Amino acid sequence: MDKAICYEFITQPLIIYEEDINISAQQFDCIVWIVGILCTHINLLDNENYNNIALKLTQHANKLLKKKDQCIGVLKCSHLYWENKKYRNSNKVIECLQKSIKNAEIAIQSNNDNIILFTYMLDKYLYYYEAQNIDVSEETLHYLIDICQDYYNKTNDDTNFKQEYKKVIKYVHDKQKNSNVFQKINIDTSILRS
C-alpha cells in the first residue's frame, strides 16, 4: 500500500469522526477502532504523519463526554506509542498513562464505581512495566496498588472491582514466583486467600 493511500485510509475515519459522529458512545467506539487499526496494521506512514494522527486520536479520547470514557480511551491510545516498534515513544506512553490517572481521579469523585478504572490502569502500567518501558516507575505502580488495596480493604461488597483487583494481584504474584521482573513490586497476597 502506498504511503499516500495509507494516510488517506486513516485520516478519512478521523474526518468522519470530527464531522459526523456526535454520540459519545459512538465516538468512544470509533477511537477504539482506529487505535486498533493503527496498532496492528499500519506501518507505512512516516513518523510525522503517524505522530500527528496519534496525537489527534489521543486529544479526541481526552475530550470524550464521560471521564470514565476519557480514562479508558486515553489508556487505549497509549498503545499507539508502543505496539509498533517503528513508532515507539515511551515518553508519550507515560503521558497517556498520566492523563488517564488524572481522568480516573476526577471520575471517582462523581461515582465510586469508577474505582475499577484504577485496576484497568494498574493492569496497563504492569503491561508496560513487563514490556520494559523504562519510563514506567515502580513508584506509580505502588501508588495505584495502594489506591486499589485501600478501597479493597474498605468495601465489603464482592464487586467487579474486587474480582478485577484479585486477578491483577494473582498475575503479579505468579510472575514474582517465575521471574525477576516483578520482584520490586509490593503486593498484599492475603486477598488471594479470601
> What is the per-residue pLDDT for 91?
94
Q: Where residue 41 sits, what CATH number does that domain have?
A: 1.25.40.660
Between the alpha carbon of residue 86 and those of residues 22, 37, 129, 130, the distances in Å are: 33, 15, 19, 19
Query: Using an 8 Å Cβ cutoff, are 115 and 86 in contact?
Result: no
Domain shared by 161 and 121, yes or no = yes
> What is the per-residue pLDDT for 78?
97
Domain shared by 101 and 7, yes or no = yes
Domain shared by 65 and 121, yes or no = no
Domain shared by 5 and 100, yes or no = yes
* 90-110 and 116-130 helices, crossing angle to 10°: 170
Name the residue range of residue 147's domain.
111-194
Mean pLDDT, the chain, whole residue set: 89
Between 40 and 166, name the one with better pLDDT. 166
Per-residue pLDDT tens for 24-58? Answer: 888 999 999 889 888 887 777 788 888 998 999 99
Between 69 and 18, name the one with better pLDDT. 69
Domain shared by 134 and 182, yes or no = yes
Q: How far apart are CA 57 and CA 45, in angstroms?
A: 15
Whether pLDDT at 1 is above 60: no
Q: Which of 95, 110, 125 is the last residue of a domain?
A: 110
Q: Which of 77, 110, 143 is the last residue of a domain?
A: 110
Domain shared by 93 and 9, yes or no = yes
> What is the per-residue pLDDT for 158?
63
Backbone φ/ψ region at 132: left (φ over 0), alpha (ψ -120 to 50), beta: left
Per-residue pLDDT tens for 86-129? Answer: 888 999 999 999 999 999 999 999 888 899 999 999 999 999 99
Alpha helices in 63-137 (DSSP H): 67-77, 90-110, 116-130
Domain shared by 25 and 86, yes or no = yes
- pLDDT category of residue 72 using cuts at 50, 70 and 90: very high
Q: What percent of the chain has pLDDT over 70?
A: 99
- pLDDT category of residue 141 using cuts at 50, 70 and 90: very high
Whether pLDDT at 155 is above 70: yes
Domain shared by 90 and 26, yes or no = yes
Domain shared by 21 and 101, yes or no = yes
What's the domain count of the chain? 2
